[in-house]
Structure 1
Amino acid sequence: MKILIADDNHVERLILSRVLEAEGHHVIQAETGTQAIDYYFEQSPSLVFLDILMPDIDGYDVASAIKKKGQESRWIPIIFLTSLTDAYDLAKCIEVGGDDFVSKPINRIIIKAKVDAFARISRLYETIETQKTEIQYHNEHLIQEQEAAKKIFNNIAHRGCLAAQNINYHLSPMSIFNGDLMLAAETPMGGMRLMLADFTGHGLPAAIGAMPTSEIFYGMTRKGFAIADVMTEMNSRLYSVLPRGIFCCVIIADIDALEERITIWNAGAPQAYILNQESGEIDLVHSNHLPLGVQTPERFKVELKVLNFSASHKLLAITDGIVESVNTESEMYGEERMLDFIRANIKSDNLCDSLVEQVVEFTGDVDQGDDLSLLEVGFPHHHLDKSIVDAEEVKAQTGTLDSNLSLSLRGKSLGKFDPIPLFLQTLLECRELTPHRSRIFTVLSELYNNALEHGVLGLDSAIKHDSEGFANYYHQRSDKLANLKDGQVTVQIDHRPLNDGGEIVFDFIDSGEGFDFEKAIARGSQTYSGRGIPLIINLCESVDFLEDGRHVRAVYRWYDEQDAE
């Protein structure tokens, strides 16, 4: 061990040197404080014995200089040599950076014990520094890996159409990975589906569940599955893959621009807000279900809420990181304060940014305690745009171009099974129909819902004249489907190839009492209800109502060179 001795007394310095050399240590001797500082930086000793009283620079200043400049990267213990006995002088030895002191004249046994003790501490310190360096290296490597993984993750769990003009959003993760997930997709019928999910915790463990969640959301939405089907599949997957204690709070909503309605479901998330910017009214959508991944698939059930949603409405959804933000006084931001802010700024074009600014101002310098996410959605523009498809996929007639499909649903099956995704995916096996996806889905959906709701269930769309009417209509629909024992809907689809393309003949036959279709057509352009029939007439080459409206036949014509506008 290399030891530096700084003492202007030659005899005392020699005695201590002999004691240390006898124990096998290498000794460096300094006669003045200036020499001590120079030798320290030149020789890099592992231990320093330092006399307090020296002619040029006293031991206090030497210790201060060494501690200030020489111990940034390693720890070198300093033991003061002193004949002083005053408690103040001895305490000052520690205050200026000394680690211990030895009274003169020295005692060989004590010197040996102290050197051995500090040698053990030095080795421990070196071990800690080595481990610290290794940890820093591995941490930097881990961060690099997480950054790379995040890029892959973002490509998989992409955000869909969140860049749409009617959407404002904020995502502020605590770490590289985000436990909050925000997804948006256009539905085949030209509407918009949005989801805000919050997995337990934050960082990578919380983000793991986002990958299957995103896959299910986009895959099933593209195929035309309803919210209930998507949530059922998502819960089943998360229940099987997430460890105990990890679950997902979620708000999911479908905005139907054609019918001017929003279908929304809240499972364990903070309440969502449906804002009417004209009237100032706010509808609260409270959680009515346990989070995803908690209940077994057998016990899982989705109960949706349907509300009016027009050009004057907005959806505002948040995760709990917003309301649970705290300020320097440990006061929580809270839902009441947020609701007051929403009421005061309900007409704002960008409530999202304004609310985030207020939360940041409220929290001040307090570190973020959770992922912060906020989603604001206005009324979307309804469209049935052409799907983007690789030209190579549609060069040749394929799949179900020449086919006939038939399915009859009776009784309880009508309330349990949605046949639209099945028909849509079967038809789209004919790649030529890919650009027509949205229009075909619209025709299927409108005709089936017409047969089920107005034919079998006997519901009247006229009651959907306001937000209360919307809620009443879909409440009746749920009740009647739950108690349905009789009734039948038969669907027949005939896809025929033609020289310049093809045609699809849709036949929907129900067991109901029929309806006044001429009145429904006339009413469709003037009210919230009945708009589907005029749309179908516009999309199809022909639409015929047979058997007093119990049988509807629609012919959709497509051409080889047609862009489905």
Structure 2
Amino acid sequence: MNKMKVLAVDDNRTNLHILQVFLKKLGHEVILAENGEEAVRRFESESPDLVLLDIMMPVMDGFEAARRIKAMTRDRWTPVIFLSALNRDENLVEGLDAGADDYLTKPINFVVLEAKLRSMQRSLTMQQQSIDSLRRVQAISDNVLDAIVTTNEEGMVVSVNQSTERIFGWPSSELIGQHTSVLIPVQQGATDQHSVRSIDADEPLLVAAQEQEVVATHKDGHRFPATISVSQVTLDNQRMIISVIRDISERKQTEQKLRENAHQLQDYYDQTQTEQQLALRLMEKQLHRSGLQDKRLCYKVIPAEHFSGDIVAAARSQDGHLYALLADATGHGLTAAISVLPVLALFYRMTKLNRSIQEIVLELNQQLKESMPVGRFVAITLVCLNEGERKGEIWVGGTPEAFLFDRWGRVASTFPSDNLPLGIVGSNELGGQPRVFTWEPESQLALCSDGLLEATDKDGVQFGSSGLIESATNSSPKERFAKIEAALKVHQNGCLASDDISLMLIECP
């Protein structure tokens, strides 16, 4: 504090003028009054830092003025120095009882007065620093979202921050002096308070109790969930209890909503699982027809998910011809599996009637073109074997090329994909006649989906046609399927496939 605002009071104008000149020379701001009543008015309007007060004055003497001034300065200390020719002990005692902080007799010794002013100035500077610190602490406290309630040992509220007013609806002026039970019912808050009060009274540090959930009470009577943590601090040999209370209504609502959502998700999951299990049983019934149990077939389908978009089917016609189908729908999973169901139904119906490969392909294409959305299609390899004449027909559209292995596992013929997958164009644009082929004894026809050839190892290398051919070479017809399976497993080495995998070997007797 570089300068003070000083209220100088004296009924003698000469003395007042001398004081004014002296104080201004010291760098202070001066307010003048000529009697006690005027001094009280000027004090109220100007809020000076220090008062120099004469005792013997008209209208109102200095003792009464001092008492009234002190009554107006409850929040901060404003020093009052009496200046008087009265120098008896009883005058000094009366002045101090009236609220004076110091006493200086007239005629004034200005050296002593200057020293007293410096002393008061140091005390006022310390007071201002304390006030500034308190304001900073209060500002921080008021900006904390939690309620901070300070009580004495009896649980009476001493101070609260602004959040307490917001959370509980009580103005601080009404809350101070009340028991904390108006905020937290005694039976719930007692545990924490008792635990704090049982701490050694000589302990000067702040000790925190464990946070616990309670039910708090708003001024309007409604209750809400809250957490409370209670601490204690000893100040000036007086034990104070500090409670930090947090309104957790939103958190509780969020937790309840999360629980409800979790139940809904669990119900949805359970329902989905039930539906998937039902769909899986239906698919299994559709897929595993008796034709696949033909002794001349070996096959395997490995879905990337629960459902496979790859299917294999086999059936014998009334004339004994063996029909085999490997189909691969766009994507994988349940949607891909649904896409191939119409293919299965038509395949089994038309093969029973001994229809040609060309007729079956055109009918399948027409059905898929009409029923499937744009962007969805089904790649197929369709085979018909006339075992009596050792002659077969094969149509490949969109699936990898098929291989005819001889008895030693060498590639005797390949059948590339010369046609579009089914469901893309109309049947009149599909075209493509089936290829006719013959075979030597103990030959095998290998059909697969692109999932087999695109299966990768840990380095991203694909199994490929080379992997299929190498694993089949120098193998007997009986062990060939197992050798291909083993080679694929070694290649993947635990890596998950990104697409459905299907493989079918057909013996050509």
Scaled by the length of structure 2, what TM-score is found?
0.54
| 2:340 aligned with 1:210 | yes
Moved more, 231-240 or 310-319: 310-319
User: Is the CA contact 1:52–1:80 (under 8 Å) kept in the aligned structure 2?
Assistant: no
Match of 1:237 in 2: 367
Give the secondary-structure state (helix, strand or coil) at the position aligned to 1:331.
coil
Which residue of 1 is the match for residue 461 of structure 2?
A: 331
Q: Measured at CA, do residues 366 and 157 of structure 1 come closer, stay the same or move farther in structure 2, by a change above 3 Å?
A: closer
Structure 2 unpaired stretches of 5+: 1-145, 171-181, 197-204, 213-224, 233-239
Q: Is contact 1:269-1:320 (8 Å) kept?
A: yes
Equivalent residue for 1:150, pick from 276, 280, 294: 280
Question: Is the Cα contact below 8 Å between 2:231 and 2:243 reproduced in 1?
Answer: no
1:178 aligns with 2:308: yes
Q: In the alignment, is the contact (CA less than 8 A) between 1:193 and 1:255 conserved in 2?
A: yes
**Paired AA for residue 481 in structure 2:** C
**Secondary structure of the equivalent of 1:249?**
strand
Does the Cα contact within 8 Å between 1:255 and 1:309 map onto a contact in 2? Answer: no
Give the whole-Å Cα distance in 1 for the aligned partners of 2:505 and 2:434.
20
Q: Measure the CA separation in 2 of the matches of 1:25 and 1:175.
A: 57
**2:428, 2:315 → 1: CA distance?**
28
**Would the alpha carbon gap of residues 309 and 10 (structure 1) be closer, same or farther in structure 2, given more than 3 Å must change?**
farther
Task: Confirm or deny that 1:373 pairs with 2:502.
Answer: yes
What's the CA shift for 1:248? Answer: 0.3
2:289 maps to amino acid: R
Distance 1:135 1:222, change over 3 A: same
CA distance in 2, matches of 1:311, 1:52: 95
Report if aligned partners of 2:309, 2:332 keep a CA contact under 8 Å in 1: yes
Which amino acid letter does the alignment assign opposite residue 339 of structure 1?
I
Segments of 5+ residues of structure 1 without an aligned counterpart are 37-50, 63-75, 84-103, 381-565
CA-CA distance at 1:307 after TM superposition: 1.8
* Corresponding position of 2:451: 321
Q: 1:232 to 1:29 in 2, by over 3 A?
A: same
Q: 1:80 to 1:258 in 2, by over 3 A?
A: farther
Over 3 Å counting, the alpha-carbon distance change for 1:79 and 1:226 in structure 2 is farther
1:183 corresponds to which letter in structure 2?
A: A
CA distance in 1 between partners of 2:403 and 2:363 (Å): 26
Per-residue CA distance 1:311-330 (angstroms, 9 max, x = gap)? 32101111122122233334
Give the equivalent residue in structure 2 for 1:353. 482
Q: Secondary structure at the match of 1:299?
A: helix
* Structure-to-structure mapping, 1:65-464, within 5 angstroms: 115=247, 119-278=249-408, 280-343=410-473, 345-380=474-509
Give yes or no for contact 2:315–2:351 (8 Å, CA) kept in 1. yes
Per-residue deviation, residues 174-209 of structure 1 (Å, max 9, x unmatched): 333321111101123222110000111122211223
Shift of 1:378: 0.9
Q: What is the CA deviation profile of residues 379-416 of structure 1, one whole-angstrom value per residue up to 9, with x for unaligned ones?
A: 25xxxxxxxxxxxxxxxxxxxxxxxxxxxxxxxxxxxx
User: Which secondary structure state, in structure 1, belongs to the residue aligned with residue 502 of structure 2?
Assistant: strand
- 1:547-562 correspondence runs (5 A): none
2-structure distance, mates of 1:12, 1:320: 78
Is the alpha carbon distance of 1:351 and 1:133 closer, same or farther for their aligned partners in structure 2, counting shifts above 3 Å? farther
- The match for 2:201 is none
Between the two structures, name the one with larger relative contact order (CA 8 Å, sep ≥ 6): 1
Would you say the 8 A contact 1:167–1:376 is kept in 2? Answer: yes
User: Secondary structure at 1:332's aligned position in 2?
Assistant: coil
SS at match of 1:224: coil
Provide the secondary structure at the position in 1 that maps to 2:428.
coil
CA contact (8 A) 1:200 1:247 kept: yes
Q: Deviations over 1:203-233 (max 9, x none)?
A: 2211223222112111111111100000000
Q: In structure 1, what residue type is equivalent to 2:493?
A: G
Tell me if structure 1 keeps the 8 A contact 2:321–2:386. Answer: yes
Q: In 2, are the aligned partners of 1:247 and 1:292 still within 8 Å (CA)?
A: yes
In structure 1, distance between residues paired with 2:285 and 2:318: 22
Q: Distance in 2 between matches of 1:172 and 1:128?
A: 37
Paired amino acid for 1:191: H
8 A contact 1:170–1:353 mirrored in 2: no
CA deviations 1:501-523 (Å, max 9, x no partner) are: xxxxxxxxxxxxxxxxxxxxxxx
Q: Is the 8 A contact 1:180 1:371 kept in 2?
A: yes
State the distance in 2 between where 1:173 and 1:371 align. Answer: 5
Is the 1:268–1:289 contact (alpha carbons within 8 Å) kept by the matching residues of 2?
yes
d(CA) in 2 for partners of 1:293 and 1:357? 35
CA distance in 2, matches of 1:339, 1:26: 80
Q: State which structure, 1 or 2, has the greater radius of gyration over its C-alpha atoms.
A: 2
Taking the aligned partners of 2:156 and 2:476, their CA distance within structure 1 comes to 84
Stretch moving more, 230-239 or 264-273: 264-273
Q: Give the partner amino acid of 1:227.
A: I
Instruction: Quote how far apart the aligned CAs of 1:26 are.
Output: 5.8
* Pairwise CA distance, 1:278: 3.7
CA drift at 1:13:
12
Letter in structure 2 aligned against 1:129 = R
Alpha-carbon shift at residue 31 of structure 1 (Å): 6.0
1:378 partner amino acid: E
What SS does the corresponding residue of 2:427 show, helix, strand or coil?
coil
Deviates more, 1:350-359 or 1:12-21: 12-21
Taking a change above 3 Å as real, the CA distance of residues 331 and 152 of structure 1, as seen in their structure-2 partners, is same
- For the 8 Å contact 1:168–1:350, the answer to whether it is kept is no
Normalising by the residue count of structure 1, what TM-score does the alignment of the two structures yield?
A: 0.49
Q: Judging changes above 3 Å, is the alpha-carbon distance between structure 1 residues 119 and 251 closer, same or farther for their aligned structure 2 residues?
A: same
Q: How many pairs were matched up?
A: 320
Partner Cα separation in structure 1 for residue 477 and residue 154 of structure 2: 86
Q: Provide the secondary structure at the position in 2 that maps to 1:290.
A: coil
Letter in 2 for 1:354: K
